Structure 1
Amino acid sequence: MNSHSSSDNIEKGTIEYNPRAEQVQEPVFVKRPSTIANPGPAGVFAFASSTLLLSLYNAGASEVHTPNVIIGMAVFTGGLVQLLAGMWEFPRGNVFGATAFSLYGSFWMSYATILIPGSGILTAYTNKEELAHALGLYLTVWLIVTVMFILPVMKRHVAFTVLLSILCVTFILLAVAEFTGNHNITKAGGITGIVTGAVAFYIGVGEFLAAEADPIFRLPMGMRR
């Protein structure tokens, strides 16, 4: 690498010349700020609305007992929108947002796949108890994933810590309900899920307002830089 080509690249803003790296010919790339709008509100609203609908069903609202109405919401809102939000978080450099939105988007898509009659997943289980235990294990795995998500935010974002903690309680109750067959525990999981959705809506509105130059008000999030 000669000095002329290095200075040209520096002027173009592609690399930063590092004299220490001259012998090994390794340019040091400069991170550029992203101009992509914050996808966080879209991801949080998608999570909140899907969680609220499923939790209303689990809580027994309006005497609805067939869960298939959640399929479209789970695939497109909870699944696709969150997955896209996660992909858009990557170029913004937000590791937590990219990981959380992407994985929870996959959660909703996988949950919808279980409920789709044509997938054959439910009909593959001839024993109802085995199916219930399989769903319990499924929910337990997502409980573990959610606990892992609490660790990076508990010192810097109170609102997300509260959201994920309540979500953990929801997963615990729903998993226990599947293992025990106790419908009252399912209702309890539905109620905590409704609270989870409400907290998620709070965060979504807060981030939505924060994106405005002159919002009518701001919601406290308990964030630390």
Structure 2
Amino acid sequence: MKEEKDSYANPAPLGLFAFGMTTVLLNLHNAGFFELNSMILAMGVFYGGVAQVVAGIIEAKKNNTFGFTAFTSYGFFWLTFVGLLVLPKLGWAAPVSVNGIVAYLSMWGLFTLLLFIGTLRQSKALQFVFGSLALLFFLLALGDYTENAAIKSFAGYEGIVCGLIAIYTGIAQVLNELFGKTVLPIGAGKQAQH
């Protein structure tokens, strides 16, 4: 049987940009710079959501279980997050309680912490993305649980950093591949860079 050649581009930069840009925009809101608005919701559905699911599906085609699990899951995170906000407005579901949102954020923090373990075999940049994302989920959960505005605001700033490092990691992968050398270092791990 003839082996099929992998003809797919690296989907990780798409997933990292979709995650990073949407995360920065939401956390600019969390930090208090502007209200939660349609721009954030649209980014959550179409870029943070759909684009990451597409990246995850391509990762599956490339036999990358970690990339498939991460991008597909976080794509659906964004879709569920928007659903939590929009479904009550449409009258299709009751608004989520504070305890419900704390449980939601805590589960995503736990999931991210478990994936962080997988990044220990990957680049330092990915370790930073997943480590800071786990921290972000736990800070957001704590902020909602305590109803402490300072924690929520701090979480917003920490989320901006998380999103920016994801954007950096995405552009580093693009430029390093285009130039065939390390243009932007990501601290390559024990496995391939994506």
TM-score, structure 2 normalization: 0.90
Letter matched to residue 36 of structure 1: Y
Within a 5 Å distance, the mapping from 1:134-213 to structure 2 comes to 134-213=100-179
Structure 2 match to 1:114 = 84
Letter matched to residue 134 of structure 2: C
1:89 and 2:59 aligned: yes
How many residues were matched structurally? 188
Distance apart, 1:212 and its partner CA: 0.8
Structure 2 match to 1:46 = 18
Letter matched to residue 31 of structure 2: A
Structure 1 match to 2:187 = 222
Contact 1:46–1:81 under 8 Å retained in 2:
yes
Q: Which whole-Å CA distance do the structure 1 matches of 2:30 and 2:19 have between them?
A: 16
Q: Which whole-Å CA distance do the structure 1 matches of 2:53 and 2:98 have between them?
A: 27
Structure 1 match to 2:45 = 75
Higher Cα radius of gyration: 1
In structure 1, list runs of 5 or more residues that go unmatched: 1-9, 14-29
Distance apart, 1:68 and its partner CA: 4.4
Distance apart, 1:203 and its partner CA: 0.2
Q: Which whole-Å CA distance do the structure 1 matches of 2:28 and 2:107 have between them?
A: 22
Q: Which whole-Å CA distance do the structure 1 matches of 2:138 and 2:20 have between them?
A: 18
In structure 2, list runs of 5 or more residues that go unmatched: none
State the identity %: 33
TM-score, structure 1 normalization: 0.78
Q: Determine which structure has greater relative contact order: mean sequence separation of CA pairs < 8 Å that are 6+ residues apart, divided by chain length.
A: 2
Contact 1:79–1:106 under 8 Å retained in 2:
yes
